[in-house]
Chains A and B, each alone.
Chain A
Amino acid sequence: MQLARVVGTVVSTVKEPRMRELKLQVLRLLDENGRATGAYQVAVDAVGAGQGDVVLFAGGSSARQTGLTDGKPTDATIMAIVDSWDVHGKVVWSAAAETPS
């Protein structure tokens, strides 16, 4: 899986019939320090992520391994929303620290 931030959504009316009810999000990939790598990915959203959320997505045929995406032509699926992560015991990023309270 990879870390990424939801930066947009994709609206697509004409598409493969099995993809019709799936929500597609535009992701900007992040490195272990929370910085954008420059790479982007469009992914099916299996967890209800919102704009600005940091998420994990699974790629390749693993992206089909959810009830939502089983047998469907997707190669990237958001399967978790990230609360925080740490490197060698030090919190690098957390949603709580990022959201103004």
Chain B
Amino acid sequence: MRLGRVLGSVVCTVRAPDLDGEKFLLVQPLDAGQRPLGATVVACDVARSGPGDLVLWVGGREAGLALPRAFVPVDATIIGHVEAASSVAPHGAAPAAAGR
């Protein structure tokens, strides 16, 4: 799983049949210090997330397992909200605090 920040939502009318009703959110992956890390991804959501939320998301085949219908072409799903995340920072830097 990885940390991410929800940026917004993606609207898709035409979609694979098993994806009816799923919400697509734009997510910026974050490093342990909550800094942007890598390209944005589009994820399904089972945690009722919205823009600005700090979330936990799962990638790969397992992303489908989080959804009501597991056999779906989904490679990223938000599975939780993050209230607090801390890390032991390298090189004596201050550990990251949760929040924006």
Q: Across the interface, do A1 and B14 meet the contact criterion of CB distance under 8 Å?
A: no
Q: Select which of B12, B26, B75 is within 8 A of A62 by beta carbon.
A: B75
Q: Select which of A31, A37, A82 is within 8 A of B10 by beta carbon.
A: A82
Q: Select which of B13, B18, B51, B76 is within 8 A of A83 by beta carbon.
A: B13
Q: Select which of B15, B73, B75 is within 8 A of A69 by beta carbon.
A: B73
For B75, the chain A residues whose CB sits under 8 A away are: 1, 58-60, 62-63
Interface of chain A residues 45 through 73 with chain B (CB within 8 A): 46-48, 56, 58-67, 69
Q: Across the interface, do A46 and B16 meet the contact criterion of CB distance under 8 Å?
A: yes
Please name the residue on chain B nearest to A56 by beta carbon. B42
For B60, the chain A residues whose CB sits under 8 A away are: 60-62
Complex CA distance for A7 and B19, rounded to whole angstroms: 24
**Chain B interface residue count: which class?**
20 to 34
For A77, the chain B residues whose CB sits under 8 A away are: 73
Complex CA distance for A85 and B27, rounded to whole angstroms: 12
Q: Across the interface, do B40 and A31 meet the contact criterion of CB distance under 8 Å?
A: yes
Q: Across the interface, do A62 and B74 meet the contact criterion of CB distance under 8 Å?
A: yes
Q: Interface centre among B8, B18, B40, B75, by most A CB within 10 Å? A: B75
For B76, the chain A residues whose CB sits under 8 A away are: 1
Complex CA distance for A1 and B11, rounded to whole angstroms: 13
Is A79's beta carbon under 8 Å from chain B? yes
- Chain B residues at the A interface, C-beta cutoff of 8 Å: 7-19, 24, 26, 28, 39-43, 51-52, 60-61, 63-64, 71-76
